[in-house]
Amino acid sequence: MTGNASVAKTGAVTPKAKIWTFANILLMTLILGVWLAGTFAAAGTVRWIRGWICIAATLVMYGVGTLAVMLKNPALLAARASWRNWEIKPFDRVFIKLMSPLYLAQPIVAGLDAVRFRWSSMPFATVYVGLVLLAAGMLLVSWAMAVNPFAEAIVRIQTERHHTTITAGPYQLVRHPIYSGAILMFPAAGLILGSMWAVVVGLALDVLIVWRTAIEDRFLVRELPGYPEYKAVTRYRLVPGIW
């Protein structure tokens, strides 16, 4: 999910890349399956309309976003799927170890909160707010991934692919648009599910994204050619006019 402000020619998709892409799609399907199981197991019932709305919206939006990236930047999906082949920096290891359980816990927290124990409640109108945020976040993420073949899942300088800095697409607005989209999407799930505590989990995920953005930005200033100049032109990391 790296927000490197970079782009280059997509290049041919090799058979190995196609295998990685297929493996990545299977992994995402498995993760969504865990989400589905966790959501309704925690709720103790499958008769939860907000749960089904959240799952359906997530599947549709992820599917459309993946299709858009496959059409515009097919080699990227394979590059993102092969992240385990590369050395992972210590801060990225911490990020992955903290983010993964929080992400998988969010629907479980929602099911326990909104349905089983009813610790909190939210009006149904928050479903619409959540869907708008989810769609806006996915649009931003997909747009960035469509123009950036270097948007790998881990932070590194891809010297073997002639990593360069540019200002295309959403990178004209902020330096890390993929992270900006993610920040919208995480709390959106809690709003759709109607759980204040799931929103809190989403905000905790946002804090992790902000932390990773700050560290990655410093890394890119040091290591990526042209990034300091790009930073001087595109001033904001995540939110125009704020940060």
Write b or e for each residue in 175-208: b if 16 or more Cβ atoms lie within 10 A of its Cβ, otherwise e: bbbbbbbbbbbbbbbbbbbbbbbbbbbbebbbeb
pLDDT for residue 2 is more than 50: no
Residue 8 has a pLDDT of: 38
Higher pLDDT, 157 or 228: 228
Q: What is the pTM of this model?
A: 0.86
| pLDDT reading at 209 higher than 90 | yes
- The pLDDT of residue 15 is above 70: no
Identity of residue 217: D
> Residue 144, CB half-sphere, CA atoms under 13 Å: how many?
29
Q: What is the pLDDT of residues 159-196, one digit of tens each?
A: 777 777 867 889 999 999 999 999 999 999 999 999 99
Task: Please say if the pLDDT value at position 11 is more than 50.
Answer: no
Which domains, from first to last, does the chain contain? 15-233 (1.20.120.1630)
